[in-house]
Chain A
């Protein structure tokens, strides 16, 4: 089955700096890659996603890049703010797998004011 590895497990940055979280996946048939943000005590919420026919997608301070050949995708957050502090999860799924998403183990991002 699909295996998703996420790095780093913890990340601490100064406010205003950039943060990058990387994920690799094992199944070359995976074609949908969402990122979820989970604030402390809250539910995971989708922040951005990318499909395999696209190499990069941006939404304000957040961007995701996908390298299908290398089977990795990354989340980039620019001009980080304290409210970006949360656990971030990447996930991978494929069309033929009944919507099953395999999640990475999460990255705890701390943005220091």
Chain B
């Protein structure tokens, strides 16, 4: 069983479109994250939710909107996609509020903007 699962695995779309990425974890963790990994492989945190509450909101364009319907799910919606949004987006989860806990990553969603 995949502990942290993301869908879709690949997403190819046109500039200006709106798209969503879904994430689910079956580890019973309370905290979930979204990371962006660019072409240089840098891992940058975007958002974090603890029990459906937004606790980390980095400097991310407001075209990106996370939604957590329950603590096992964290989705990412992106409006008006731009070329610079092309990247791999990783979802992750950790126990408690995440302090001092390892993060478990999903397999990533590779987003390509044409």
Q: Give the B-binding residues of A (Cβ under 8 A).
A: 31-32, 34, 36, 38, 42-46, 49, 51, 87, 89, 93-101, 103, 105-106, 108
Pick from A32, A34, A103: contact of B99, CB below 8 A: A32
Q: How many A-B residue pairs have CB under 8 A?
A: 69
Q: Which of B16-32 contact A (CB under 8 A)?
A: 31
Kindly provide the distance from the CB of B53 to the nearest chain A CB, expressed in whole angstroms: 10
Residue-wise, chain B 91-109 has the 8 Å CB interface mask toward A (1 for contact) of: 0001011111111111110
For chain B, the count of residues having a C-beta within 8 Å of the partner chain is 26
Say yes or no: A43 contacts B100, CB within 8 Å.
no
Say yes or no: B50 contacts A98, CB within 8 Å.
yes
Pick from B43, B94, B108: contact of A103, CB below 8 A: B43
Chain A neighbourhood of B103, CB < 8 A = 34, 46, 101
Say yes or no: A43 contacts B42, CB within 8 Å.
no
Say yes or no: A97 contacts B99, CB within 8 Å.
yes
Pick from B48, B100, B105, B108: contact of A95, CB below 8 A: B100
Bound complex: CA A44 to CA B41 (Å) = 11
Chain A neighbourhood of B42, CB < 8 A = 103, 105-106
